[in-house]
Chain A
Amino acid sequence: MTEPEAETDPEPDGGRGDRPQAHTIRLELADEPGELLSALEPIADEGGNLLSIFHERGHITPRGRIPVEVDLECPPSRFEGILERLRDEGINVVDADAERYGEHLTVLLVGDLVGTDISDTVTRVESSPAATVEDLSLSAPGGPAEQASARLRLATRAGAADEALGVVRTVAAEKGLSVVEPLTEVSR
């Protein structure tokens, strides 16, 4: 729903210098041998440290591509270079978070979503500095008067997932909606 923060924005806190920070990049790759390797090489070449790669082979996009989520660590000054290099190589970068949105969480909302103004619900969640709504899917098979469901994908600052969930809970409680929260795994 919202554009990711422009990666070139200077960090408001300013004081972190060029220490490596975590970033998440979402790519869409053709289902061909070597595609993944050719996407990862530029990241390493440009000084990025790969943390994890989530290769969703089972989930082909409508364009017949395979979504890949790459978590990496690099100094802030290198991040833009990595993205440029990927684009130069013809890799489809669909989403690049600035490091301030380091975590994602998905929640379901259930109830009278239409009657309680779903766009206001999203706006309220986004008004929190903790979260931005990246994606929204709504299902109201019984029509607007019936109980509906929505799936929200939130991006949050690293370590702010609880705060983001708290905002969702508060808004939902005010509107009489139920929240199906993700299970917050104990960090391993």
Chain B
Amino acid sequence: MSRIAVVGCGAVGRSVVDLAGDHGHDVVAVADSQGAAVDPAGLEAGAVLERKAAEGAVGDAAPANALTAPYDVLVEATPTTLGDAEPGFSHVARALDRDRHVVLANKGPVAERYADVREREAASRGSVLFEATVGGAIPVLGTIDDYGPERITAVRGVLNGTANFVLTRMAAEGLDYEHVLAEAQDMGVAEADPSFDVEGTDAALKCVILANVLACGEREFTLDDATVAGITRVPGSALDLAAEDGRTVRLVGEATADEVRVGPRLVPDTSPLAVSGTRNVVQVETTHADGIDLSGRGAGGPETATAVLADVGRLPPLE
């Protein structure tokens, strides 16, 4: 059992609060951008979430109070930011400075400042895990860690559900990009500003994280090192031509220890990568055991929280 502090109260943070008890953990602090609730004896999840829904803030304490609460594991679930990855990076640093563990749902610190995170971790008794940053509920990083990153030659996959939904609908209905995007926005599958998803940035961040893991510290990757193309220039006619030939187009991200690429790719209809709708899929290429295909839900509050709590369970006891 661990004592958890959750920073960031979006869909993922709320689901972590909701599901932590089911995994046998106590939530001792929750913070959003406006306030915090702290109780070293353990917060009652239902009450915290009700208050968040009713009043917008989880509690009256200052948000920073959550960072100094008596937790074992800090769950960092604030929105992903690029560049200096703040404020997420500072939250990670403060927890490690206190010799506490960190579990990230926020991609920023491990995509943009991987070496800084690892350096802080090396000086701490705490560890940093970040399964939830790649492929939602799919155990991608856990699988890589089990086999050992030095025995993985490449990871490729469909890592953005919004882009995959748009491509799937375009191919199935013969509609153009703008039309399907509007539909996806109405359904809540795409955000009002979908650029992060459809321009390939989100998939690229996930692949950058994978490349950082595969490189084992030999080289650090950031978003600037990725070659990225999105799906906005893929017309319906291209999907039609692919379909005539038994193929389809998917936004595929590829990561090795040397390279990160994201772009629309032709894949056979029968390929494991030709997943439909918002599902994600990841292929892990191993040196001695061929390819491992993993697919599942790549986004969503309970799905991502499930990956977060799996990480919490993997952490070693703090001395």
Identify the A interface with B (CB < 8 A). 56, 58-59, 106-108, 110-111, 137, 139-141, 147-151, 153, 178, 180-183, 186, 188
Contact = CB atoms under 8 A, between A and B. Distances in A.
Contacts of A140: 237
A180 B264 contact: yes
Nearest to A109: B238
A110 B234 contact: yes
B172 to A, nearest CB: 17
B211 to A, nearest CB: 16
B246 A59 contact: yes
B153 interface: yes
19 contacts: A56-B246, A59-B246, A106-B247, A106-B266, A110-B233, A110-B235, A139-B237, A139-B240, A148-B235, A149-B235, A149-B237, A178-B229, A180-B234, A180-B238, A180-B263, A181-B265, A182-B266, A182-B267, A183-B265
Given A180-B249, A186-B285, A137 B263 contact: no
Contact of A151 (B236, B241, B285): B241
B291 interface: yes
A141 B266 contact: no
B153 A186 contact: yes
Contact of B245 (A141, A151, A186): A151
Contacts of A182: 265-267
A58 B233 CA distance: 30
Contacts, number: 73
B238 A183 contact: no
Contact of B266 (A59, A107, A186, A188): A107
A118 to B, nearest CB: 13
Given A107-B266, A149-B237, A183 B242 contact: no
B203 interface: no
B159 interface: no
B235 A151 contact: no
B266 A181 contact: yes
Contacts of A186: 153-154, 285, 291
B233 to A, nearest CB: 5
Nearest to B247: A106
Given A180-B249, A180-B266, A188-B291, A149 B238 contact: yes
B265 A178 contact: no
Given A183-B271, A186-B285, A106 B245 contact: yes
Contacts of B225: none
Interface string B271-293: 10100000000000100001100
